[in-house]
Amino acid sequence: MTKVNVYVTLRESVVDPQGTAAKEALLNLGYNEVQNVRIGKLIELELDGAVTDIETRVKEMCEKLLINEVIEDYRYEIGEAAGK
């Protein structure tokens, strides 16, 4: 089995209402060093280890379903790195 972690964030150009609210809250709590907060999500995939071209397949999964390219960016980690 291969583990893949997909990290999804809103694109730079898109306002993140949750991130903005979290930033305000952190500033209220006195964390004045906070300049920006972006909230995203982590998607953990467990893949059949027999599959080759994992990278192509993962990219496809992201682009077809897991992320919406109009508003979201993503990156992923495969195997060892994701297993940690």
Partner 1 sequence: MKFAILVFPGSGCDVDMYHAINEVLGAEAEYVWHDEAELAGFDAVMVPGGASYGNYLRPGALAKGSPALEQLKAFAASGKPVLGVGNGFQILTEANVLPGAFLLNKGLKFRSGKVKLTVQNTESIFTESYEKDQQILIPFAHQYGNYYVDEETLEELKENNRIAFTYTNGSVDGSTGHIAGVLNEQGNVLGIMPLPERAVEEIIGGTDGLPLFKSILKRWSENNVSHA
Q: Give the footprint of partner 1 on this chain (CB under 8 A).
A: 10, 13-18, 21, 64-66, 68, 70-71
- Side-chain half-sphere CA neighbours of 72 within 13 A: 17
Give the number of other CB atoms < 10 A from CB of residue 57. Answer: 14
Query: Whose Cβ is closer to partner 1: residue 13's or residue 52's?
Result: 13
Alpha helices in the chain (DSSP H): 17-28, 54-61, 80-83
Q: Which is nearer to partner 1, 41 or 75 (CB)?
A: 41
Q: How far is the CB of 64 from partner 1 (least distance, A)?
A: 7
Q: How far is the CB of 41 from partner 1 (least distance, A)?
A: 9
